[in-house]
Structure formats: structure tokens, C-alpha cells
Structure 1
Amino acid sequence: MPKNPAFERIRQEAYNQGFAVGFEYGKESAIRFFAERFERLKKTKGIGPKTLQRFIDVFGREYFEPTGDAAESGGEKKAKVNQKTDQKRGP
């Protein structure tokens, strides 16, 4: 039985939308997980500003910048880390 191209197109669009939603959910979940672990790391004895800066340098500054939803869900804390480390680094 031949497939109707209109139905196939609609099915593919719905699949792509579902995939995009799932991808965003997974990404946000991973970001929250990492942010929680980073906050715990900051409270760990023996982990100071220099070590935290090394983590930021290795993972990339973009992962520690607040954006949209992240700012509403605790991104301010991550921004404070950046402000402190930026002051120590200089221009």
C-alpha cells in the first residue's frame, strides 16, 4: 500500500518537533544537574577560588553565564562566580 506524501510530511514534522522538545528537555536537565554539582563543589573543603577558576577555564566560560531560564533558576549564583573570577584575572 503506497504511503500518502501529505501524511508522511505531517508525521515527519511531528517527529522533528518531538525530537526538538526532547533534546531541549535533556539539555536543561543536564545543565541543572551540572549546576547543582558545581554548587556542591564550591562548598567542598579544599576547593577554593583558584580550583573553581580551573574548572571554569576547562569547561568554558559560556557554561557559567546566566541565560534566560537559567537566570531565573539560580543563574545569579553562577554569575557571581564569574564576577569574582573576572576581578582576579584582570583585563
Structure 2
Amino acid sequence: MEHLIHSRVKNIEISGIRRFFNMVANRPDLISLTIGQPDFPTPEHIKEAGKEAITDNFTTYTHNAGFLELRQAACDFILEKYGL
């Protein structure tokens, strides 16, 4: 099977995200957020919010800056929790 892979493909370097993923893959003290595959179940309220978003056709990508409401909520959380 090896003859089916072009030599240029064999020489492609591993991406930075893959290198990082490989470094942290065996660290039980870390939560891996590298490629979107959590090792815990999705909470029910998140599932319901996703279903509601699909039903309401709220399914497009955000602007690069994200949603103002979400950014404000994150700021409020950091301020309340850490006083920053």
C-alpha cells in the first residue's frame, strides 16, 4: 500500500495543531479543546440551545469579532468572578 502514496505527501510536515494535540493527548490533568472532541457528554441545556438555534435558522457563522452579546456576557463574567 505504501507505493500508493506519493513521496511529496509522505514529506508533508504535521500541522501545529496536530503537534500540540499529540503533546497533550496523554495528559489526564488537561481538557483537550484542540479539535472539538470533548471526552464528556454535552450538557442538556447546550443540546436544547442547539436544537432551538436550528429550529430558528440561527445557523450562520458569526462575524470575526463574534456576537456583541456574547462578548459582553464574557466581560461581565470576568468582571464578576475576577474583578477584572
TM category (shorter chain) comes to under 0.3
**Higher helix residue share:** 1
Q: Which has the higher contact order (CA 8 A, sep 6+)?
A: 1
Give me the TM-score of the superposition, normalised by structure 2: 0.27
